[in-house]
Amino acid sequence: MPAKRKSEFRKVMKKYWTNGTAVLGTCLLFFFIVIAIFAPQIAGVNEMGDNYQIPRASWSSKPIPPSAEHPFGVIGGRDVFYGVVWGTRTAFRLGLIITGFAALIGVIVGSISAYFGGWVDEILMRITDIFLSIPFLVAAMVMTTILGKGLDKVIIALIIFGWMSTARLIRGNILQAREEQYVLAAKALGQKDWVIIIKHILPNTIFPVVVQMSMRIGSYVITAAGLSFLGVGAEPGYADWGTILSFSRNWMTMLDQSWFAIVFPGTAMVLFVLAWNLVGDALRDIFDPRMRS
C-alpha cells in the first residue's frame, strides 16, 4: 500500500510541475516567503526598536527618488524598500489569519446550517444575508473606526465581514452532496450518519473552500491596503504595503515625483495576489481527483 500511495503522489506532483501556471505561482509564493523570512538580512532592522515601524530616512515630507542608498526611494520620510520588504511579513499575517478564521467560522456556520436544516438553517442563513447586505468596505471601515486604529483591528473587522461566502459555499455543497447517490449507497451499507458526513460529504465539499481560501488570501491583503490607504488601517509608518500607498496620497497630482511609492508596493501586491490565485488553481487540480485524468 505505501509503495502504491507514493506512486500516486508522484503522479500528482509530476502533473503539478508540468503545469506552467502552477509552477509560476509556486515560485512567486516561494519568492515572497523567502523575502518574509530574510527581511532583516535584506532590508536591515530598525535600530530604534520595533522592526515593523519603518525607520525615518529623512524629516522632510518631500519624496526622494530611488538611489543607491534607498533603492525604492523615500516617501513621507520613510524608506519604501524597507516598507515593501517588511510589509511582506505583514501581508502574510493579514492574509493567513483573516482567511483562516473567516473560513473556520464559515465552515462551522455552513455545516451546521446544512446539517440541521429547518429553522436553524433559516436563522443562520438570514443572519448571513444581513451580513452580506452591508457593503463590505463600508462595514470594514465602520468597524475599524469603532475598534480603533491598528493592524489587529483591521484583521478583526475583516474576519467579522469575511465569513459569509464560505458559509454559503459549504452549505450549498453539503446540501448538494447530501442528495448524491453515494451517500445513499453508504447508508445502504449500514454506515453511521456522522461518519458519512465526515468521510463522504466533507471531502467532496471542502476542496472549493480550500481553493476559495487561497484565492482570497490575496484579495484580503488588497482590502487591508485599501483601508490603510483610506486612513483607517494600520498606523502611519507601519511596515505595510497599504501604508506606503497612503503616504503617496498627498503626492498623487505629482506622479513624476512620487511614482515609486505607488509602483513598488503596487507591484508587490499584484504579484502576491497572482501567486495565491495560481496556487489556488493548482491546489484544486491536486486535491480533486475528479480534475485529474
Partner 1 sequence: MDEKKALLQVEDLRTYFHTEDGVVKAVDGVTFEVFPGETLGIVGESGCGKSVTSLSIMRLLDEKGEIAGGKIFFDDQDIMAIPESKMMKIRGNDMAMIFQEPMTALNPVFTIGFQIMEAILLHQDVDEKQARKLAIEMLKKVGIPEPEKRIDEYPHELSGGMRQRAMIAMSLSCNPKLLFADEPTTALDVTIQAQILELMKSLQDQYGMALVMITHDLGVIAEMAQRVVVMYAGKVVEYADVHTLFKNPRHPYTWGLMNAIPKLDEDKEVLYNIPGVVPDPLDFPEGCRFNTRCPLATDKCQKEEPPLVEIENEHTAACWHIDKLIETIKVSRAGETA
To 5 degrees, how large is the angle CA 93–CA 281–CA 174? 90
Q: State which of residues 18, 190, 194, 253 lies at the interface with partner 1 (CB under 8 A).
A: 190
Q: Print the binding letters for residues 1-20 with partner 1: x by CB under 8 A, - otherwise.
A: x--x---x------------
The nearest distance, CB 276 to partner 1, in angstroms, is 24
Cβ atoms within 10 Å of 130's Cβ, excluding its own: 10
Grid cell at residue 226: 485599501
Q: Print the binding letters for residues 123-162 with partner 1: x by CB under 8 A, - otherwise.
A: ----------------------------------------
Q: State which of residues 180, 250, 252, 270 lies at the interface with partner 1 (CB under 8 A).
A: 180
Give, in order, the Cα–Cα distances in Å from 23 to each of 12, 18, 108, 190, 290: 13, 8, 33, 44, 21
# residues contacting partner 1 (CB under 8 A): 24
Region from 108-116, 182-190, 246-254, 268-276 binding partner 1, contact rule CB under 8 A = 182-190
Q: Based on the number of CB atoms within 10 Å of its own CB, is 91 exposed (0-12), middle (13-18) or buried (19 or more)?
A: buried
293 sits near partner 1 (criterion: CB under 8 A) = yes
Q: Based on the number of CB atoms within 10 Å of its own CB, is 39 exposed (0-12), middle (13-18) or buried (19 or more)?
A: buried
Closer by beta carbon to partner 1, 72 or else 207: 207
202-231 positions binding partner 1, by CB under 8 A: 203-204
Q: State which of residues 188, 194, 253, 256 lies at the interface with partner 1 (CB under 8 A).
A: 188
Give the HSE-up count for residue 166: Cα atoms under 13 Å, Cβ half-sphere: 28
Place of cell 500511495: 5
285 sits near partner 1 (criterion: CB under 8 A) = no
The nearest distance, CB 212 to partner 1, in angstroms, is 18
Q: State which of residues 17, 30, 116, 182 lies at the interface with partner 1 (CB under 8 A).
A: 182
Written as one string, the DSSP assignment of 162-222 is TSHHHHHHHHHHHHHHHTSHHHHHHHHTT--HHHIIIIIIHHHHHHHHHHHHHHHHHHHHH
Give the footprint of partner 1 on this chain (CB under 8 A).
1, 4, 8, 180-182, 184-192, 199-200, 203-204, 288-290, 292-293
